[in-house]
Every structure is written in C-alpha cells, then in structure tokens.
C-alpha cells in the first residue's frame, strides 16, 4: 500500500456486518482466492471481531457410548459397523461431575457431553438435564449433543440452563445422502430450529475430508452462514478415519484445503466461534497455527474427543506457549451473534 493511504475496510474485508445471503458463486470464489489473499482477508475479519490471540477451550465427554442405530458413515459409534468399540450405558451423574470438575481445573470454560443416540428418550433427558445443572454449578458453560430434539425436549434442556446444543449439518445437502441414510438434512434443520426456539445457543458445523468435493465444502459453509441465525459456534472437524467404518480408508484431505475451509468459515460467519475440532492429533503444529491465523478461535481440549484421541494437554499448552496464544478465561455465554443482513 502507498504511504499514507488509508486502509479501506471494504477492500481489506474488516467490516463485520453479518450477511446471510451468500451465493454459491461468491463462496466458491472465496475458496478460489490465492491462499495469501484468503488468509489475509479472513485474519483481518478475525481481528476486527475477536481478540486474535485468544482461543476458547471446550472439553468433551462421551456420556453414552456406541450402539447407535444411525448409519453415519464416519462414525465409530454406529451399531452397524464393527469398530471394536465397547458400548457403554449413560454415565452416572457423579462420574460426569468428576470429569467436568477436572476439565475446569485444566482450564476449559465449556463442558460438552455427547450421547450416541438418534434422539433422546424423555426419561434419559431428565438425567441429562441433571448433568447440565451440575456443569453449570461448577461455573462452566454447558453443551450437549444428543441427536434429534423435539421442541419440548429443547425447552427442558433450556430450563436446566443449557448454553449450547451441538447438532452438525456434517456436509453439503448434495453430498449428505452419501454419508447418512437414516435421517434427512431436513430433520437436522428441524432440530436446529427447535433448539433456537427454546433460546439455546447453536453449535453447528460439519466434517471435511469425507471424499466430498470442493463445491460440497463451499455448500456446507454457505448453508451454515445462510441459516435464519448463524450458529454461535461452528465446529469444523477433519474426518478421523476409523477402521471398520465405511470411511475408514478415506484419503487425507490436502491440509491447505482444510485451512481454506476455516478461513472461509471465518469470512462467512465473522462473529461466530470457529472451532478447530476433530482431527488435531494428526495435524502438525504449523497447520494448527495456520488455522488459528485463518480464524479458528476454539478447540476441543483434553486427551479424548468422544471415542478417539485428541492431543495431550501438554502438547496443546506447549503450542499455545510457542504461539503466544492464551486460553480464553471468560465464559462467553453472553456473546451475541447479530442476525441482521
């Protein structure tokens, strides 16, 4: 830039209005930008909306493992695939409390509980509501992912003080049928609507590296960004290929394509937390650093995801130290995502 020239926010992309009318061509054009241009634009927006050196930490716990009736092709917990996973019934409350307290002691601000259900039964939901209350009592944000929810179930969780409900779109509407046949994209959108209507914040993202095309990644992000209200939290998972699942042998995605996905998510959803989610164990520190630069500002912290591994805490702490990144200490419950266009 010439000396003395003012940076025009419209050129640098630092204006932070939230748009929900993204077209297919616009999103594909972002993906097609030269890498440096894309990262510059995403990072500028990231800085305009967030503290650029802070990363929010969420810890996961599988509260009910395996034996799931659904056929999600990526998932080690489906009863249809032989992955050698040991199924476990819903955990006792005390065990959940202990894990949440440990997560807090390790520096997490959010505790996320996942259950391998197609949808919860009302009697199970009461037990999960009790878990949410205990997590809240520890001063942690709460998140659960339990499958499809009916309106009264979402309200029951809201009454228990639930902060976030995680329910992913997983992929583009076009590729979805290649991955799951036991529930529709529309079912997922209905659950998101029920969660919103109950006043619970939405955590919704997807998985990349499942053999989808560039266009599918663009359409996943476009669908997320054009929802009636953008999700407050957007997990971007890289497929963890698990032997025995139909996607167990899937070839790895080009790491730069993964970073591009994070960058485009940041541009499309400038005020949402973008979580660098599953797949970090296999990522280099350099790749994770690029993801943070591109706009990722949340991770799953703790040595397990649900059933697969995650980086050891000391590896993450060392990475943060080397990058001058600080874990976010503030509980972010009050962050509002504007839905104006």
Interacting residues with ligand DTB (CB under 6 A): 60, 76, 114, 145, 166, 168, 205, 235, 237, 240, 277-278, 305-308
Question: 45 or 278: whose CB is closer to ligand SAM?
Answer: 278
Q: Would you tell me the crossing angle of helices 24-31 and 35-49 to the nearest 10 degrees?
A: 110
Question: 73 or 278: whose CB is closer to ligand DTB?
Answer: 278
78 binds, among ligand SAM, ligand DTB, ligand SF4, none (CB under 5 to 8 A by kind): ligand SF4
Least distance from ligand SF4 to the Cβ atom of residue 11, Å: 41
Task: List Cβ neighbours of 94 (8 Å cut-off, separation of 6 or more).
Answer: none
142 binds, among ligand DTB, ligand SAM, ligand SF4, none (CB under 5 to 8 A by kind): none
Least distance from ligand SF4 to the Cβ atom of residue 312, Å: 25
Q: Cα angle vertex 289, ends 286, 294, to 5°?
A: 125
**Is residue 216 involved in binding ligand SF4 (CB under 6 A)?**
no
Measured distance CA(219)–CA(223) in Å, rounded: 6
**Is residue 245 involved in binding ligand SF4 (CB under 6 A)?**
no
**Is residue 75 involved in binding ligand SF4 (CB under 6 A)?**
yes
Question: 179 or 264: whose CB is closer to ligand SF4?
Answer: 179
Exactly one of 68, 183, 271, 280 is catalytic; which is it? 68
Chain contacts with ligand SAM (rule: CB under 6 A): 68, 74-75, 77, 114, 116-117, 145, 147, 167-168, 170, 207, 237, 239-240, 242, 278, 306
Least distance from ligand SF4 to the Cβ atom of residue 77, Å: 4
Give yes or no: 291 in active site.
no
Exactly one of 203, 260, 266, 280 is catalytic; which is it? 203
Give yes or no: 339 in active site.
no
Beta bridge partners of 304: 309
Give yes or no: 112 in active site.
yes
Give yes or no: 75 in active site.
yes
> Which of 18, 68, 154, 274 is in the footprint of ligand SF4 by CB under 6 A?
68
Exactly one of 143, 188, 271, 291 is catalytic; which is it? 143
Least distance from ligand SAM to the Cβ atom of residue 310, Å: 11
**Is residue 77 involved in binding ligand SF4 (CB under 6 A)?**
yes
Q: Cα angle vertex 14, ends 8, 17, to 5°?
A: 115
**Annotated catalytic sites, by residue?**
68, 72, 75, 112, 143, 203, 275
- Binding residues for ligand SF4 (CB under 6 A): 68, 70, 72, 75, 77-78, 116, 118, 147
């Amino acid at each position: 830039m010439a000396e003395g020239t003012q940076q025009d926010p419209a050129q640098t992309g630092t204006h932070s209005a939230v748009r929900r009318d993204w077209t297919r061509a616009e999103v594909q054009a972002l993906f097609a930008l030269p890498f440096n241009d894309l990262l510059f634009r995403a990072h500028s927006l990231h800085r305009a909306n967030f503290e650029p050196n802070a990363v929010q930490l969420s810890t996961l716990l599988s509260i009910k493992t395996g034996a799931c009736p659904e056929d999600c092709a990526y998932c080690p917990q489906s009863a249809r695939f032989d992955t050698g996973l040991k199924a476990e019934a819903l955990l006792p409350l005390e065990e959940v409390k202990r894990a949440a307290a440990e997560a807090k002691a390790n520096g997490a601000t959010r505790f996320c509980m996942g259950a391998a259900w197609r949808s919860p039964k009302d009697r199970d939901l009461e037990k999960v509501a009790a878990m949410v209350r205990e997590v809240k009592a520890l001063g942690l944000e709460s998140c659960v992912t339990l499958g499809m929810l009916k309106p009264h179930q979402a309200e029951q969780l809201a009454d228990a003080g639930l902060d976030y409900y995680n329910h992913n779109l997983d992929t583009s509407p076009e590729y979805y049928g290649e991955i799951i046949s036991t529930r529709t994209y529309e079912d997922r959108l209905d659950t998101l609507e029920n969660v919103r209507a109950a006043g619970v914040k939405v955590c919704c993202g997807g998985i990349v590296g499942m053999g989808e095309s560039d266009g599918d990644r663009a359409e996943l992000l476009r669908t997320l960004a054009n929802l009636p209200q953008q999700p407050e939290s957007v997990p971007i998972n890289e497929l963890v290929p698990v032997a025995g699942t139909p996607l167990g042998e899937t070839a790895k995605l080009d790491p730069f394509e993964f970073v591009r996905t994070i960058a485009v998510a940041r541009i499309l959803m400038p005020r949402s937390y973008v979580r660098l989610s599953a797949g970090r164990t296999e990522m280099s520190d350099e790749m994770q650093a690029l993801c943070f630069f591109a706009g990722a500002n949340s991770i799953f912290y703790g040595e397990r995801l649900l059933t697969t591994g995650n980086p050891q805490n000391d590896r993450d702490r060392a990475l943060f130290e080397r990058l001058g990144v600080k874990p976010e200490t503030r509980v972010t419950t009050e962050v509002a995502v504007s839905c104006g266009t």
